[in-house]
Amino acid sequence: MTMTRERPKLSVAATDPTATGQASKLPIAADPPPPVVQVEAPTPAPEEAPAAPRTVRKSRRRVSEDEPRGITVWVEPEVFVSLKSIGLMERLTMREVMTEAISDYLRKKKQLSIVSAPPPKA
Closest CA to 99 of 74, 122, 117, 72: 117
In a domain, residue 121? The reply is yes
Position 93 scores a pLDDT of 92
Q: pLDDT tens digits, residue range 57-68?
A: 766 666 677 777
Number of structural domains, the chain?
A: 1
Range of the domain at 106: 77-122
In a domain, residue 104? The reply is yes
Q: pLDDT tens digits, residue range 6-56?
A: 776 766 666 777 666 666 665 666 667 777 777 676 776 667 766 777 777
Note whether 29 and 35 are within 8 A (CB).
no
Q: What is the DSSP-derived secondary structure letter of residue 71?
A: -
In a domain, residue 99? The reply is yes
In this predicted structure, the answer to whether residue 3 has a pLDDT above a threshold of 70 is no
What does the alpha-carbon distance between residue 95 and residue 71 come to, in Å, rounded to a whole number? 11
| Cα end-to-end distance, the chain, whole Å | 52
Closest CA to 86 of 77, 95, 97, 101: 97
Angle ∠(49,55,61) on CA atoms, nearest 5: 175
In a domain, residue 42? The reply is no
In a domain, residue 54? The reply is no
CA distances from 10 to 20, 21, 83 (A): 12, 16, 17
